């Protein structure tokens, strides 16, 4: 319940080798790690690279409940075939890690309208979801200001309108930028919240900035949220990796009250 995971995001990915990242995450006290399926983390994304990552997770006793769809093209009409080929790799990674969620950032595509972007996303998801269901996997869509799913309300509407059995990733940074009430947002996402990204309101380490974590925790508690808490921020100070874990542990305690 509520596994605390680290996402090798900006400041981590590209700065450290894969084995170093696993070591840093384990030493800081995390229970798990997000696996981004991209070249920066999995090299050529070959079977050997994936096996190496699985072995590192086993070595450090880290779970990987979330797998990142690293090729951000699911909204791009001209790249549907490429997107589904990448999905095959992501699916393989997710199955090897016994993951629960495949996380999708709903990216803006240059020169593509919001309507066409969402229609393309829905078409791709309609092919991905049945395969995910066969493998006990769920897809979580991340909303963000300026993207085809600008906020949690649009995310809920997309799920309702398409009827697709997908979920939402709620990032505290994006929630803050939407000026949304954290408690209201949590309650609204009750039936479709998959995982939570934990970040400072300035994309710094969690706990920094102005986001109201206590109010958000109250809402998450009321909806009995039990999904992964994924720490995602621009890491500059290595010591912040442990501080972020410690802060998120306190956030988890607030949720479980």
The pLDDT, as a whole number, for residue 30 is 99
The pLDDT, as a whole number, for residue 210 is 97
pTM over 0.95: yes
* Residue count of the chain: 257
The pLDDT, as a whole number, for residue 135 is 98
Q: 115: which residues sit within 8 A by CB, 6+ positions away?
A: none
Phi, psi of 196 (to 5 degrees): -125, 130
Tokens (6 digits) for 194: 């998959």
Q: 239: which residues sit within 8 A by CB, 6+ positions away?
A: none
The tens-digit pLDDT sequence of the chain (257 residues) is 999 999 999 999 999 999 999 999 999 999 999 999 999 999 999 999 999 999 999 999 999 999 999 999 999 999 999 999 999 999 999 999 999 999 999 999 999 999 999 999 999 999 999 999 999 999 999 999 999 999 999 999 999 999 999 999 999 999 999 999 999 999 999 999 999 999 999 999 999 899 999 999 999 999 999 999 999 999 999 999 999 999 999 999 999 99
Answer left, alpha or beta for residue 62, where phi above 0 means left and psi between -120 and 50 means alpha: beta
What is the chain's alpha carbon radius of gyration, rounded to the nearest angstrom? Answer: 17
The pLDDT, as a whole number, for residue 146 is 97
The pLDDT, as a whole number, for residue 132 is 98
**Hunting for tokens 């319940």 — which residue is that?**
1
The pLDDT, as a whole number, for residue 197 is 98
The pLDDT, as a whole number, for residue 221 is 98
Residue 4: beta bridge partners? Answer: 229
The pLDDT, as a whole number, for residue 161 is 98
84 vs 90: CA distance, rounded Å: 10
| Strand duo 4-6 + 138-142: pairing | unpaired
């Amino acid at each position: 319940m509520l596994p605390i995971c680290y996402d090798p995001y900006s400041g981590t990915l590209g700065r450290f080798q894969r084995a170093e990242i696993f070591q840093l995450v384990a030493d800081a006290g995390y229970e798990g790690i997000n696996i981004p399926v991209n070249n920066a983390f999995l090299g050529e994304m070959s079977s050997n690279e994936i096996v190496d990552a699985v072995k590192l997770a086993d070595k450090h006793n880290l779970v990987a409940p979330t797998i990142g769809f690293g090729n951000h093209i699911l909204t791009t009409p001209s790249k549907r075939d490429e997107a589904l080929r990448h999905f095959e790799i992501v699916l393989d990674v997710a199955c090897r890690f016994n993951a629960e969620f495949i996380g999708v950032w709903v990216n803006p595509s240059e020169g593509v309208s919001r309507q066409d972007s969402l229609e393309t996303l829905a078409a791709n998801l309609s092919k991905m979801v049945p395969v995910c269901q066969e493998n006990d996997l769920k897809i979580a869509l991340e909303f963000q200001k300026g993207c085809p799913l600008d906020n949690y309300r649009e995310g809920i509407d997309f799920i309702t309108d398409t009827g697709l059995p997908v979920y939402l990733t709620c990032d505290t940074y994006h929630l803050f930028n939407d000026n949304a009430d954290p408690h209201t947002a949590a309650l609204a996402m009750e039936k479709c919240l998959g995982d939570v990204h934990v970040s400072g309101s300035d994309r710094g380490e969690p706990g920094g900035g102005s986001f109201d974590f206590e109010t958000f925790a109250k809402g998450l508690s009321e909806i009995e949220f039990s999904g992964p808490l994924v720490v995602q921020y621009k890491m500059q100070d290595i010591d912040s990796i442990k501080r972020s874990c410690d802060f998120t542990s306190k956030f988890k305690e607030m949720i479980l009250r």
